[in-house]
A and B are shown apart, each in its own frame.
Chain A
């Protein structure tokens, strides 16, 4: 079943729904007042190290 309607702008730009909702959440967080704003922004730091494997060989890991 192909979709007949036009895809939303963010999907046409290559984002997934998750990326879209994260960006929206960040926008809402930026609307907070101090001091809650710095607390919220500090809470949402992201870190992990991902490494893609092909044919049983790891490639160099990149940190996010």
Chain B
């Protein structure tokens, strides 16, 4: 009893008097403690705090693991769609070519991004490329406007390019992606925006770990005419026969509209694949980090626990030897 009282008193004078670690009165070694002071300068973090931290880190690890599984299953579903959609625009590129270096007056940059976060850096890279394109294409007589798909790009572009934004489209993935959805979207863009060239910026899905930002260019029919006269791939258009009593200008208009719709479809699907893949790898590295953190916390916890048990033993033994001698 006296020892306990002395011990409690001793704690208040601990920094001045005793070099030995003095802890508060406890009933068992594992009861919650506040911060303890060891030999002057050494502080042990209390076990309760460490245990709470370990519990929360473990929960986070479980959540990120689950998110990774969900992203993996969504990726599988959408990957087949994306690969099938590649066949839609390849004939267009074979016919009309993809000319990112075309110089036109009215550029419109369509930035495709995701609505949800936690998907790594893909949205930032898309926005970076869009801004670079904007800078590249702004000259004295050129103007460049943005059409934004997805919340993440909207948040980033609204900050500094407010006056260049034409349209913002969100909540695209509420229903599973289909051609009808994207074509209605493409139709809205065509109706609301005047353009000479449309540049679509998206992340192309090469594999689960590699998504490269790409730009697809779709030209308006007048520009196609202009480029056709300049020769090159588009100049070969005249060698095609046109059936059905329509003129070349008529066909070109239909073709460019359909080309835009197909290219948009493919780019939205590929971006969705890249989003799921990026989310998978982000959640995977986050679970791994959580595991590492958990290991380190476990070591700290065990060290603290063993130190407190040792000090208990020392006190008991020194008390016992003081009684004898």
Contact = CB atoms under 8 A, between A and B. Distances in A.
B168 A16 contact: no
A5 B245 contact: yes
Contact of A22 (B165, B167, B180, B192): B180
Contacts, number: 92
A27 interface: no
Contact of B171 (A4, A19, A47, A53): A47
Interface in B175-197: 175-176, 178, 180-181, 183-188, 190-192
B249 A56 contact: no
A50 B168 contact: yes
A48 B183 contact: no
B166 A18 contact: no
A1 B225 contact: yes
Interface in A11-64: 16-19, 21-22, 25, 43-53, 55-56, 58, 61, 63-64
Given A5-B246, A44-B178, A52-B192, A16 B171 contact: no
A52 B191 contact: no
B144 to A, nearest CB: 14
Contact of B168 (A1, A18, A51): A51
Interface string B190-221: 11100000000000000000000000000000
Contacts of B187: 16, 18-19, 22
Interface residues of A, number: 31
A62 B144 CA distance: 25
A54 to B, nearest CB: 9
Interface in B225-261: 225, 245-250, 253-254, 257-258, 261
13 contacts: A3-B250, A18-B183, A18-B184, A21-B183, A22-B184, A43-B178, A46-B180, A50-B168, A51-B168, A51-B170, A53-B167, A56-B162, A61-B170
Interface of B: 162-163, 165-172, 174-176, 178, 180-181, 183-188, 190-192, 225, 245-250, 253-254, 257-258, 261
Given A1-B225, A48-B171, A56-B165, 19 more contacts: A1-B248, A1-B249, A3-B249, A3-B250, A5-B246, A8-B246, A16-B187, A18-B187, A18-B257, A18-B261, A43-B176, A44-B181, A46-B181, A47-B175, A48-B185, A50-B168, A51-B169, A53-B162, A58-B168
